[in-house]
Amino acid sequence: MKLFSSYNRILAIITLTGLIVIGFLFYQTLGQYINKQIDDHLYEELLEVRDFTHVKNILPSPDGFDDVIVDYKKINKLSDQRKYFADTTFYNPKKKHDESARYLKTELILNGQPYEVMIMASKLERQEQIKSIILIILLPVIVLLLILWLVNRILIQRMWLPFRQLLINIKAFNINQENVFEPVQTNIEEFRELSNAVLEVSLKVKSDYKEIKLFTENASHEMMTPLAVINSKLDTMLQFNTLGKEESEILADLYKATSKLTKLNQSLLLLVKIDNDQLQDKEEIDIKALIEEKIGYFQELIQRRELQVETRISAFSVFANRSLIEILINNLFSNAIRHNNDGGSMMITIKNDSLIFSNTGLPTALHSQKIFERFYKDNASDGTGLGLAILKQVCLKQNYELSYNYNQECHQFIINFKSFGDKSQLITL
């Protein structure tokens, strides 16, 4: 839930609850005030009845009052002279419907005889007065609250505009670009402090990233020379005829480990170049011709594993960097050959702007997400664990969709050139 929605919901709940509570208390207070007025009026009528009886020596007529009803009930003796006030309902013969009323009941001596007297007054008019008063008061309050809510919403949206712009600038920030984070100009101190803090952090991150990148590049380049020397010396020593079997095996293991370290170093250098967008020159590339060329390039490895290669490709071209596309094709071939079974099969297909490499191999599906992580590999693999990571990085930089699927005992790596890329970069012949 967004901050505005959460704030407005809490504000609405508090306001509505407060309005209901205040309205209820106001209604109860006003009702008690009205009842007090009616009770005073009933008591005055009782005094008039007593005075009239004392002066005239007769009971006043029950119809002799305009707004009250007086009822007399003769009793044997006075038992309770307290005055009772309560609410009731009665049938109004003039209006011909039931009405709520307030009555006063007591016992007193009238004309020398004990009577139970009940004086009743209708509450209908006063209830209507209460409703009118509540409407007169609450309606302007509700309108005022609505106006305040709208004004508050508009003001908050304007006040939070710098924060929204700050989010946009943070999302647009790219550590690989030379442009630094663009701060937001605002008069709100908290947002200004946040913008300055993000600016300082972004500058620190860019500085640390450049230092790490420079260190990685320099370390990788510096490692190339000693690795080349070690490989050369090991290759020379392996050619000596004076070595025994045990020494030859040790040197062979060293040569194999050094070669793997060299490949790892080259892969890391390649990832650095891809991450830094150092391969940006683009040209039209014939994918069909490139695949046919790579089949000849990998022919020796294919024959050594006794693989059956089938192609279903038509003329298809893309506008991209040749080095990146060659890296992509090389990694697909290398992965399909290295992780295949001896005597297995491999199929290369171009269909619906997609390049599909299918190969036999492990009888179970691979983890569709982890296989593209750096240095992830199964226990049976002797590679560096960077081949598919490089493949993913190339597709990411070229805006291609890369996916993995296991179908009919074949591992499929699918590259969709059109799904996320610019349509103008595709040339189908």
Q: What is the CATH number of the domain that holds 349?
A: 3.30.565.10
Distance from C-alpha of 395 to C-alpha of 412, rounded to nearest angstrom? 16
Task: Assess whether 130 and 224 both reside in one domain.
Answer: no
Q: Of the residues 247, 278, 309, which one is the last residue of a structural domain?
A: 278
Q: Write out the E strands in 283-409.
A: 283-286, 308-312, 316-320, 345-351, 354-359, 401-407
Task: Assess whether 261 and 362 both reside in one domain.
Answer: no
Write the CA distances from 154 to 160, 163, 202, integer angstroms: 10, 15, 32
Domain-embedded: residue 163? no
Task: Assess whether 416 and 324 both reside in one domain.
Answer: yes
Task: Assess whether 10 and 147 both reside in one domain.
Answer: yes
What percent of the chain clears pLDDT 90, i.e. is strictly above it?
0
Task: Assess whether 39 and 99 both reside in one domain.
Answer: yes
Write the CA distances from 332 to 137, 387, 414, integer angstroms: 78, 9, 10
Asked whether the beta carbons of 5 and 31 are under 8 A apart, the reply is no
Q: In what order do the strands lie in the sheet with 345-351?
A: 308-312, 345-351, 354-359, 410-416, 401-407
Per-residue pLDDT averaged across 14-34, rounded?
A: 83
> 91-95, 160-164, 266-270: which has the highest mean pLDDT?
160-164
Render pLDDT for 378-424 as a digit per residue (tens, 0 to 9).
555 555 566 677 778 778 777 788 888 888 788 888 888 875 444 33
Let me know how long the chain is: 429
Could you tell me which of 176, 414, 151 has the C-alpha nearest to residue 278?
Answer: 176
pLDDT at 424: 37
> 44-58, 114-128, 259-273, 348-362: which has the highest mean pLDDT?
348-362
Render pLDDT for 206-225 as a digit per residue (tens, 0 to 9).
887 777 777 766 766 666 66
Q: Which contacts (CB < 8 Å, 24+ apart) does range 53-62 have?
A: 53/110, 53/111, 57/111, 58/111, 59/110, 59/111, 59/115
Is pLDDT at 27 greater than 70 in this prediction? yes
Task: Assess whether 146 and 7 both reside in one domain.
Answer: yes
Asked whether the beta carbons of 393 and 412 are under 8 A apart, the reply is no
Distance from C-alpha of 220 to C-alpha of 122, rounded to nearest angstrom? 100
Distance from C-alpha of 331 to C-alpha of 357, rounded to nearest angstrom? 11
pLDDT range class, residue 1, cuts 50, 70, 90: low
Domain-embedded: residue 345? yes
Per-residue pLDDT averaged across 239-265, rounded?
A: 72
Task: Assess whether 249 and 304 both reside in one domain.
Answer: no
Task: Assess whether 324 and 397 both reside in one domain.
Answer: yes
> 99-113, 206-220, 239-253: which has the highest mean pLDDT?
99-113
State the chain's mean pLDDT as an integer.
78
Torsion sign, CA atoms 220, 225, 229, 231 = positive
Distance from C-alpha of 42 to C-alpha of 93, rounded to nearest angstrom? 20
Tell me which H or E stretch contains 154: helix 124-159
Biggest alpha carbon distance in the chain?
154
* Structural domain count, the chain: 3
Where in the sequence is the domain holding 80, given as residue range(s)?
3-156
Task: Assess whether 150 and 59 both reside in one domain.
Answer: yes
- Give the count of alpha carbons within 13 A of 256, CB side only: 8
Q: Residue with structure tokens 């009919």?
A: 408
